[in-house]
Structure 1
Amino acid sequence: MPQLNPAPWFAILTFSWAIFLTILPTKVMAHTFPNEPTLQSTDTPKTQSWSWPW
């Protein structure tokens, strides 16, 4: 039964994980967003208190 021989499958598993851990993180980290987020100001707007007539 050839599927019980771990030699070729372990090599395939090792090489595929080596590709995943070397090539893919560089491609993911090189991704740039089309719209860069703008920084919001830390100033809180001054609000008027409501004066209820009752």
Structure 2
Amino acid sequence: MPQLNPNPWFLTMLLSWLTFSLLIQPKLLSFNPTNTPSNKALAPIKTHPWTWPWT
């Protein structure tokens, strides 16, 4: 079965993961976020019971 043969695609997958891990990921992680998260207090969620018409 050709689907189980990793020979043609394993090197491509390995090189793409190495490129992402070593080059792209550190550049993306070095960016500073423009909108810093604020510590807002969460409002309590008001839930209402559902009234089923057949009960």
Q: TM-score, normalised by structure 1?
A: 0.45
Q: TM-score, normalised by structure 2?
A: 0.45
